[in-house]
Structure 1
Amino acid sequence: MSLPAREKYAGETRRLLLAFDIGTTFSGISYSILDPGNVPEIRPVTRYPFQEQAGGNSKIPTVIYYDLNGTVAAIGAETLKDGIEADAEELGWSKARWFKLHLRPKPAVSSRANAQVEVPLPPLPPNKTVVNVFADYMEYLHSCAKKYISETHGHPFWTSLEDDIMYVLTHPNGWGGPQQAQMREAALRAGFIPNTDEGRSRVTFVTEGEASLHFCLSNGLTIEGAGESSGVLIVDAGGGTIDLTAYSKLPDHSFEEIAIPQCHFQGAAYVTMRAERYFTALLGRSRFAQDIKELTTRFDRTTKHVFQSEDEPLHIQFTSHRERDPALNIRAGRLTLEGRNVATFFEPSVSCIVDAIEEQISSSYKSIKTVFLVGGFSASNWLYEQVRERTARLGVTLSRPDTHVNKAVSNGAVSFYLDSAVTSRVSRLTYGIKTYVRYDPTNVEHRNRSHRTSIHPALGVPILICRFYPILHKNTRVKATSEFRQTFHYEGVTRGELNRAVESILSYCGPSTNPEWIDEDTDNLYPSVCVVEADTSSVQSTIKTSASGLQYHEINFDVILLFGLTELKAQIAYIQNGVERRGRAQVVYRASELV
């Protein structure tokens, strides 16, 4: 199963497409030159400042050092220089690593995801927000792309296109609008898009799961039996998250999601966090306490990747060869770790992946027989073999691409933009609005809420403002072009009150299949997703008289929501002189919806 032949670029002018995959531990850049009449190609950036000698490496550390003034002192590949950690300690630099995880949603994607954040994340540097750090790192990636593309294709090539570059940013499956808004804000602060509607529209988002599917397809990976009656599961095991997305192929060669995607915080970074916690318990009260940081770094860079057996000990050189303490298994400056202890560092991640695969198979409405394990964490032979052995009982074939060491997601993000293979997605939650109903004393549900009634200022009648009206139900298959409409009736004493519409879009996170009353929420089951704002001054109004004799103005319009894209979009529609007109609506994420 692979993508159909890519078509020639149909645009009228040459453009440049850049994809940034900012991973928890490593990041990558891919790009495509869009020439009218030519078939676009996907190319990775394989050379970075301070990493030229590596040659052909498509990934760089997602790490920043800040000096005492909060200025970037070292970043990306530069942070791997010999002696950089000693310099940082001597000069008082702060290190930002795994900062991507600070952007994770709240509440977490699922109770399991909540439980998985078992070790505190490394704190952000002083006086830095996660958007600040993202902006600095995006600015760095942009400068790397500029240098590489200018050297490869010529500086005039870059300068002729840099003011109209399109960007694709990747993020875990469990992230949504609030995280996308903060990433777009970081792009603005990084300075490579202007703060205009046109500038913001040049940034597109794709989930890491969907980008991984495109990578697999564009690389011609064989997926047995993945036709209209069966599917394939992509498991993207990265540094911070495990993203699972199930797909099946449609007759037109496009793909649809066949289960609600999952995102779990059990990536490779959490293995290192558990190792650090073990080292702290072992050495925290010994003379080696100051070496725990170095020990953890050595484990993260080497030991974690070569671990393959519970029966074989591993040795980590972390201090002077003259140091020894047999009681702590330290000889010649090396700590000896039993393989079974290292296995415990991996176990929560392995169990999470196996359980999540089983959940995807059971919840999918099509049979899944093929599972692809991709992402940097999939390079671990221990992880791969453990997952393969434990999923054999499920009747699936687990495979991993040979190219898992590269940043496949950035290549897949370019393919997503060019090929748009996924045309149908599954709604993660139930979405709706809080609305009012006229109070009906004959309705028992209304009588139970009689203490919540208020008088509508324009209509002059008692109302209840606690009704939940679903617009899109959870687990609904949504095509990219599907529109979900909700009609609104706004009433006001004056016309000026109706010139702007502001509606909060809520999500429902509880077990009910038919949620009705928001006042029954005791556990924040109806969190706000976003606010849709629209200029309704052009909508024709009518003057009416209420039952109590009050005159008021009324306007009627539809809010149109597009849930089937990788980013929520909105419009308004109204009738003017018998013809439907459409207007722009803005999706706004307020502070309460952000991290």
Structure 2
Amino acid sequence: MSLPQRKKYSGRTRRLLLAFDIGTTFSGISYSILDPGNVPEILPVTRFPSQEQIGGDSKIPTVIYYNSAGNPCAIGAETLKEGIEEDAEQNGWTQAKWFKLHLRPRPSGQLNSPNTDPGIPPLPPHKTVVHVFKDYMHYLHRCAREYISETHGDRLWSAVKDDIMYVLTHPNGWGGPQQTQMRAAATLAGFVANGEEAQSRITFVTEGEASLHFCLTNGLSLSADKKSGVMIVDAGGGTIDVTAYRKRKNSSFEEIAIPECHFQGAAYVTMRAKEYFTDLLSNTRFSQDIETLERRFDRNTKHVFRKDSEPHHIQFASHRERDSALNIRGGRLTLSGVVVAKMFEPSITCIVDAVRAQKAASHFSIKSLFLVGGFSASTWLFDRVREKVEALGITVSRPDTFVNKAVSNGAVSFVLDHVVTTRVSRLTYGLYCDTPFRSEDPEHQKRANRTFRDQFDGKRMLKGKYQIILPKGIIKNIRIRETVEFKEAFTQKSTDKKSLKTISAAILVYTGKKSNPTWASDDPGSYSIACRIEADTSAVTLVKRKSTVTSQTYYRMDYEVVLLFGLTELVAQIAWSDDSGNETRSPAKVVYAT
């Protein structure tokens, strides 16, 4: 099926929607000009500085060269110039590539450890990942401005430049901390003037969801059977994003399993190739050629590999160079097809295992799979994945337009068409709280040493209860619609009225194996702070009371934290009853540690 006919833009003024897909290895830009009364179109940026002669290519390298002063001197398509490597070596430039992987979430239990991986190139000296993202975003923004101005006229850009809507993509496994850093980078890059505008004009979508929209906008034949689902596998430069969906009666889509994200994209094939070259040549006279071999494998061998029965030759040195023990003749290193296939194997296995997991976790049968993303262009990868996945009873297809950046087009469609309205919780969310001690409850009896007397009303309370707000996955048929609210009541007490003018509540995620975690002390290493909810509560009604313990006057504040998990970002509000008993609300700030 394809999307229903897109509606006319109902806004009163012309606006521009810009989508940036910053991939690990390649990036793309798509946009839509929103004219009142017209049906919006999705258009890619297909011309970039230093790439004008190619035409029609909507992807550019996610690479930056920095000079010794820390300033960018070649970015994106500019890094494809002939002789750029020689210029970089001569001038002492530092290359930043695959820098997106430095933003990835840390594994559970390693939240305070450095986010490093031996195979990922380090960031340039004195640069944080936000700084590098800022420089690359600034370049993309300039490319978009120049292309749109040249294609549609300077007057259009001048009319919309102060009210552009932005959508940024990220892998399935990323969340609030990564969104916070990307939003900060976009603000530094000049997308918006300040943090308030960044919150309202910059939105996010996962690469999996953007890929679904891309497939639908291109009229791909997704199953229209309400009882079955479709799987989207976005095989990119850094990550493999796997998401399963089902079409609902109203033509919207819902996730039917927890989306997966694995770090086994095309860059990891190159990492394994470099490991092979290093093991082979590190103690030989060819050790200085390892980077050249890596670069030529990445740009050529990896893309043309089709059969494990055919050898591949990589020219890297003078034609006079030879060493039969190392399979080097005429300055060429010969790799057997079997060796190259082993470099791909972990990524292929990862995709197939993720498909099996999604199939098993889904509450609906999955009959079809669409493989998109730059890595899907590999014939070897596609053929091996199709062979193994179709043995599971799932047909595998690949869009004809996979060479372009499907995700940036899908990101624009996400805003315009917005077909996914129900999602599955990726984590269990909750909070620590005190609960009244019940002496007849065996679970309370076991924890009697953690009780205390409330200083205001003298009640015996028990510490350390984990109150679940939202369970992980589809439990008891819970699916998160964008309009569904999750509420938790709070009570704050204090003898000082001023201390109740603001609140800060920690939202914790549980990453352990229990299906119904209840007590923090049972699995202490499995809880971590996802974010903090901060709000101005100065308008909340206070109730004046006298302590039954100390006879002091104290103030009680009753309110609810309202959370919306069904959107692409967590949204929080504070709710309370005013003097007339009517519910009043105010927005709350979601703060992530980065």
Whether the 8 Å contact between 1:371 and 1:397 is mirrored in structure 2 is yes
Whether the 8 Å contact between 2:28 and 2:59 is mirrored in structure 1 is yes
- 1:239 is aligned to 237
Q: Deviations over 1:440-463 (max 9, x none)?
A: 455443343344444545445553
Alpha-carbon separation, structure 2, partners of 1:371 and 1:400: 9
> For residue 16 of structure 2, what is the amino acid of its counterpart?
L
- 2:591 is aligned to 588
Q: Shift of the alpha carbon at 1:514?
A: 1.3
- 1:60 is aligned to 60
Alpha-carbon separation, structure 1, partners of 2:127 and 2:452: 45
Q: Shift of the alpha carbon at 1:588?
A: 0.7
Q: Shift of the alpha carbon at 1:331?
A: 0.8
Alpha-carbon separation, structure 2, partners of 1:314 and 1:109: 42
Provide structure 1 residue ranges, at least 5 long, that are not aligned to the other structure: none
For the residue of structure 2 that corresponds to 1:107, the secondary structure is: coil
Alpha-carbon separation, structure 2, partners of 1:108 and 1:450: 30
TM-score (norm 2): 0.96
- 2:581 is aligned to 578
Alpha-carbon separation, structure 1, partners of 2:93 and 2:447: 58
Distance 1:160 1:48, change over 3 A: same
For the residue of structure 2 that corresponds to 1:248, the secondary structure is: strand
Alpha-carbon separation, structure 2, partners of 1:222 and 1:118: 39
Alpha-carbon separation, structure 2, partners of 1:109 and 1:497: 34
Whether the 8 Å contact between 1:109 and 1:174 is mirrored in structure 2 is no
- 1:432 is aligned to 430
The alignment status of 1:145 with 2:144, answered yes or no, reads yes
> For residue 107 of structure 1, what is the amino acid of its counterpart?
P
For the residue of structure 2 that corresponds to 1:29, the secondary structure is: strand
Alpha-carbon separation, structure 2, partners of 1:196 and 1:269: 33
Q: Shift of the alpha carbon at 1:125?
A: 0.6
Compare 187-196 and 353-362 and name the one that shifted more.
187-196
For the residue of structure 2 that corresponds to 1:54, the secondary structure is: coil
> For residue 327 of structure 1, what is the amino acid of its counterpart?
A
Whether the 8 Å contact between 2:456 and 2:548 is mirrored in structure 1 is no
Question: Where do 1:298-309 residues align within 5 Å?
Answer: 298-309=296-307
Q: Shift of the alpha carbon at 1:328?
A: 0.6
Q: Shift of the alpha carbon at 1:265?
A: 0.5
- 2:522 is aligned to 520
Alpha-carbon separation, structure 1, partners of 2:392 and 2:430: 37
Alpha-carbon separation, structure 1, partners of 2:6 and 2:179: 28
Aligned to 1:380, which of 378, 381, 387?
378
Question: Where do 1:385-464 residues align within 5 Å?
Answer: 385-464=383-462
Q: Shift of the alpha carbon at 1:392?
A: 2.0
Alpha-carbon separation, structure 1, partners of 2:512 and 2:487: 23
Question: Where do 1:304-315 residues align within 5 Å?
Answer: 304-315=302-313
For the residue of structure 2 that corresponds to 1:253, the secondary structure is: coil
Compare 498-507 and 40-49 and name the one that shifted more.
498-507
Q: Shift of the alpha carbon at 1:227?
A: 2.1
- 2:563 is aligned to 561
Aligned to 1:227, which of 217, 225, 228?
225
> For residue 516 of structure 1, what is the amino acid of its counterpart?
T
> For residue 207 of structure 1, what is the amino acid of its counterpart?
T
For the residue of structure 2 that corresponds to 1:163, the secondary structure is: coil
Alpha-carbon separation, structure 2, partners of 1:568 and 1:457: 34
Alpha-carbon separation, structure 2, partners of 1:442 and 1:569: 39
Whether the 8 Å contact between 1:459 and 1:552 is mirrored in structure 2 is no
> For residue 27 of structure 1, what is the amino acid of its counterpart?
S
- 2:199 is aligned to 200
Alpha-carbon separation, structure 2, partners of 1:457 and 1:97: 57
Q: Shift of the alpha carbon at 1:93?
A: 1.2
Q: Shift of the alpha carbon at 1:197?
A: 1.7
For the residue of structure 1 that corresponds to 2:161, the secondary structure is: helix
Q: CA RMSD in A?
A: 1.6
Distance 1:243 1:204, change over 3 A: same
For the residue of structure 1 that corresponds to 2:162, the secondary structure is: helix
Whether the 8 Å contact between 1:119 and 1:274 is mirrored in structure 2 is no
For the residue of structure 1 that corresponds to 2:285, the secondary structure is: coil
Q: Shift of the alpha carbon at 1:240?
A: 0.3
- 1:320 is aligned to 318
Alpha-carbon separation, structure 2, partners of 1:444 and 1:408: 56
Alpha-carbon separation, structure 1, partners of 2:396 and 2:175: 29
- 1:365 is aligned to 363
Whether the 8 Å contact between 2:512 and 2:523 is mirrored in structure 1 is no
Alpha-carbon separation, structure 1, partners of 2:59 and 2:145: 16
Alpha-carbon separation, structure 2, partners of 1:550 and 1:440: 27
Q: Shift of the alpha carbon at 1:391?
A: 1.3
Provide structure 2 residue ranges, at least 5 long, that are not aligned to the other structure: none
Q: Shift of the alpha carbon at 1:228?
A: 0.9
- 1:90 is aligned to 90
- 1:135 is aligned to 134
For the residue of structure 1 that corresponds to 2:53, the secondary structure is: helix
> For residue 74 of structure 1, what is the amino acid of its counterpart?
A
- 1:160 is aligned to 159
TM-score (norm 1): 0.96
For the residue of structure 2 that corresponds to 1:164, the secondary structure is: coil
Distance 1:104 1:222, change over 3 A: same
Alpha-carbon separation, structure 2, partners of 1:344 and 1:306: 15
- 1:479 is aligned to 481
> For residue 365 of structure 2, what is the amino acid of its counterpart?
S
Q: How many residues align?
A: 584
- 1:498 is aligned to 500
- 1:537 is aligned to 538
Question: Where do 1:235-314 residues align within 5 Å?
Answer: 235-314=233-312
Q: Shift of the alpha carbon at 1:199?
A: 3.6
For the residue of structure 2 that corresponds to 1:52, the secondary structure is: coil
> For residue 463 of structure 1, what is the amino acid of its counterpart?
M
The alignment status of 1:29 with 2:29, answered yes or no, reads yes
Whether the 8 Å contact between 2:66 and 2:74 is mirrored in structure 1 is yes
